[in-house]
Amino acid sequence: MSSQRLGPEDDFPNLTDSNHRITSPADSSYNCIGWAAETTDWWEPDLWAQCYWLTEAPRQLTIPAFVRAYETLGYAICDSPDLEVGYQKIAVFAKGTLPTHVARQLVDGSWTSKLGELEDIEHATLGAVEGPFYGTVAVVMRRPAAAT
């Protein structure tokens, strides 16, 4: 599957034909935060509480709030995004202190991302979606794969 909507002309200058593939149709009903948690709901700590957010985590658009949210799902901060057998990883992206995106590692070490209201993609590296829109990886977390 391919798309004319992604690429250097958009907000993802590192995405190339060879480092990603689109794996779903565009869908505005879920976002990357829910997708990283293996749901198809819209997760967000919005102040008007229109979106789902874990009750154990602060309803704040901050990296610590995101870390707390995923901690409640069994994740803990780790050092490396490299594939580790027996662990599932997520990566929280940020621009400065503001979270922008979350990606989830797949069993082969590649990553899956939901891009806004657009498609899901599989990308070989986290750097593929870094750039002016999502910034850079701020935190990597892992949990035992058995917890999935």
Partner 1 sequence: MASGVTRTKEPEQQELRQRFDRLAEQWREDCKHSSFVTDRAMHPAYQQIIGMGRDALPLILEDLQRKPDHWFWALRAITGEDPVPPESKGKLREMTAAWLKWAREQQHV
The string of DSSP letters for 17-85 reads TTTEEE-S---TT--HHHHHTT-SS-B---TT--SB--TTS-SSSSHHHHHHHHHTTT-EEES--S--T
Task: Work out how close the CB of 32 gets to partner 1 at its nearest, in angstroms, rounded to a whole number.
Answer: 5
Q: Is 105 helix (H, G, I), strand (E, B) or coil?
A: strand
CB-CB neighbours of 117 under 10 Å? 12
Name the segment binding partner 1 (CB under 8 A); options: 13-21, 49-57, 75-83, 104-112: 49-57
Q: Is 1 helix (H, G, I), strand (E, B) or coil?
A: coil
Closer residue to partner 1 in complex, CB, 52/87: 52
Query: Is position 58 an interface residue for partner 1 (rule: CB under 8 A)?
Result: no
Residues 68-107 that bind partner 1 (CB under 8 A): 100-102
CA distance 7 to 14: 8
Among 2, 4, 18, 28, binds partner 1 (CB under 8 A): 28
Looking at the Cβ atoms of 53 and 70, the one nearer to partner 1 is: 53
Question: Is residue 140 close enough to count as binding partner 1 by CB under 8 A?
Answer: no
Q: Under the criterion CB under 8 A, does residue 133 sit at the interface with partner 1?
A: yes
8 binds partner 1 (CB under 8 A): no
Query: Minimal CA–CA distance to 104: which of 94, 118, 114, 117?
Result: 114
Q: Which residue ranges make up the site for partner 1 (CB under 8 A)?
A: 5, 10-11, 28-34, 41-44, 46-53, 61, 100-102, 114-118, 133
